[in-house]
Structure 1
């Protein structure tokens, strides 16, 4: 029995200020489905979350969504997906998403997306998982974050290798190539 690789996508529950963010989310969802990978995401049907899932489903992909009970209404829990898991807490949501994924992609988003990113990055540095993490943001969205990570390391609060744990991509084909290499 072969294993289907799963890609966890963290992203905003809003579309953001630029149309390129929505286009990026849709392209990532389509790419995950086209590659035969399963999408693991936050189960919302709003913002970039809804876009990545709808694009994956439209392209014939398998979609696994995880949402905490208190957000089912606010994030419009997307029920037309293959798996819909409701958790009690945000922390449980994040744990279930990571445990069901082989790689993580972080698209543009706000505080929730940053929380998810930093938790999974911290778990990686502590050796709690060895799953690859990729930042993907058009128009240089993640440049301030990568500069901050470099600053944290240069100021002695992390090893210099911290930045390498979450390479940033602005080009979908480069992200796809990196994901394919990591999942092979």
Structure 2
């Protein structure tokens, strides 16, 4: 499903009649937040979260005007699902977070230094390693950043982006190793932030 979704978004992006140029931005950064994932069993209940950690990804897009572009984004974070016991974090399981989004960027300057804001929507894939399956949820993001042109075809990108994944209250996973425990979502959304840095290559 995720492969088909990515191909569809890329196809829609490439069919834009007003496109002026293709660009690719590999990026890396740090994910923080991950609130909204709790831990429950027959013996205990504790607050939990996805541990803050590094991530990587890529943006492929089209410049549609001097001050705007459209893109598809993929981001992957491999981290741990942790619970808090007596204010101490304890590792429960490996946990992966993948974002597949399409969106757009609006720049506020045509100079070499270009502040911008960006928004996107798509799917989030959340998966504890010991869970029976992964789940995909609708999500949205909003961010602000800046692009510094280094050459005519190369730019440095930095941004802060926030993601909201809409999971629905009390949805969750059964554990593979013990059917008496579960990871579940304590609210309607899982919130996560990203600090990103990357290099944009314009074709």
- TM-score normalised to the size of structure 1? 0.25
Q: Which structure shows the higher strand fraction?
A: 2
- TM-score normalised to the size of structure 2? 0.23
